[in-house]
Amino acid sequence: MLTYQRGFFCGDLSIRYPYHECTITVPMLLVCMLLLPMLFLGVVEIMRLCHNFRLRQYLRNTSLSLGCFSFGFIATYLSTELAKNVVRRLRPHFYMACRPQLNDGSTCDDPKNRNLFVEQYYCSNRNLSARQLRELYVSFPSAHSSLSFYAMLFLAFYLHAIWRGGRGVNRVLRHLLQFLFLSLAWFISLSRVADYWHHWSDVMAGAVMGIIYATLTAIYVGRFLSYYTSSSASSAISPHHHHHQQQQQQHHINKQSCLHQTSNKLKASLKHHQHVGSSTVSFQPSQQQQHTLSHEPTPPPQQQQQQQLKQQLYSDQISAASTLPGLSTTSTAAALDAVASLATTVTEEELVTLTSAREHLIASNESIWKSGTS
C-alpha cells in the first residue's frame, strides 16, 4: 500500500467509528439531484405554456432553465472536489477501514503510540481497492450535502420566481413543495453523519457551499429574482394576475392616446386662430377629454406660472373683445376657453405665439373700429 502524508493522532476517537454502507449511494444521489430536477423543470415549463403552447417558446424556456441549473451544479461539484483533494480530511470510519500500521510494524493500539501523531503509515487492509482507499481521505466537505442543497434550493428559488400571485390552495402548495425540497436535502445530509461517512462539520460546510452556489446562480445567472419576477409571473399558473396587468397597461395607453389627440387639436386651433384672426373657432373638447383633463395631476411651479399668465391673457382678451365692435366676443371666448382648459399641455413657445396673436387681433379690431367711426 502507498504511504500518505495526511497524519492523525492515534488517540483520535473521531476516526474510529465503525464502517457502514451508504444509505444514499452516488447513483441514487445523481438520480435525485440531477435527473429528477431536470425532469421537474421540463414538466413545469410545459405547465406554464399549457394554455398557449408553442414549441419554440418551450424549448427556449427549458434550455434557459436547464442551462442555469447545469452551470451551478457543475460549479458546485468542481468546488467540492477541489476542497476534498486539498484538505484530505480522514473519514470517521478511517481507522476501521484502513487499519493503519506504522513503518516500524507497530499499530496505534500499542500503549507507546497512544498519544503519537502518525504521518508515516500504510493501510494493512488488503481488501481495499484504489477507489475505496482514496475515499478514506476526502471527508471534507460533503459532496452529498453540497449537491443536494444546491439542487433543492435552486428548485425552491425557481418555484418562487415562476409561481407568484397565487392565493389559498395554490400558495400553500407552492410552499409545501419548497419545504419538501429542502427536507430532502436535509435528510440526505443527515444520512452522511448517521452512516459515519462524514463529520458534522463536513456536512455543514457542504450545505453552506450548496446554499451559496444556489443563491448566486438564481440571482446572477438565472436572474430568477429579477427577470422571472416581471416576465415569468405572467405564466399559466396565475392567469388572473396577468389579465389584470394587461387591463392596466391598456388603460394607460388609451389615456396617453387621448391626451395626445387633444393636444394636437389644440395646436391646430391655435394656428387657425392666429392666421384667420377674428374668424369663429368651433373647437370644443369632448366630454371624455374634459373628464381626462380634469383628473390631470398638479403641474410643477413653472407650469403653474405659465398657466396664471395664460389666464391673465384670457381675461384681457375678453375685456378687449367686449369693447371692440368688430370682433366677435363669442368666437374669441371659445378659442381662449380651449386654451385655458388645456393650459398644462401648451409649451412656452406656444405661449409666445398666443401673445402675438392677441396683439394682432387687438390691432386689427382697432383699425376696423376706426374705419367704422370715420
For 125, the 3-state DSSP assignment is coil
**What is the rounded CA–CA span in Å between residue 167 and residue 163?**
11
Residues tagged active-site: 144, 198
The residue written with cell numbers 478514506 in the block is: 136
pTM higher than 0.85: no
Peptide bond into 37 cis (omega under 30): no
Nearest 5°: the CA angle 350, 356, 362 is 135
**Backbone angles phi and psi of 328, in degrees to 5:** -80, 115
- DSSP label at residue 25: -
Neighbouring C-beta atoms of residue 82, cutoff 10 Å:
10
For 122, the 3-state DSSP assignment is strand
- Cell (9 digits) for 318: 375678453
For 343, the 3-state DSSP assignment is helix
Cβ atoms 202, 94 nearer than 8 A: no
pLDDT in tens, the chain (374 residues): 344 468 999 989 999 999 999 999 999 999 999 999 999 999 999 988 888 888 999 999 999 999 999 999 999 999 999 999 999 999 999 999 999 999 888 899 888 888 899 988 989 998 888 889 999 999 999 999 999 999 999 999 999 888 876 677 888 899 999 999 999 999 999 999 999 999 999 999 999 999 999 999 999 998 776 544 444 444 444 444 445 566 666 666 766 666 666 666 655 655 555 554 444 444 444 555 455 445 555 556 656 666 665 566 556 555 544 444 444 444 445 545 554 554 445 555 656 666 666 666 667 666 665 665 55
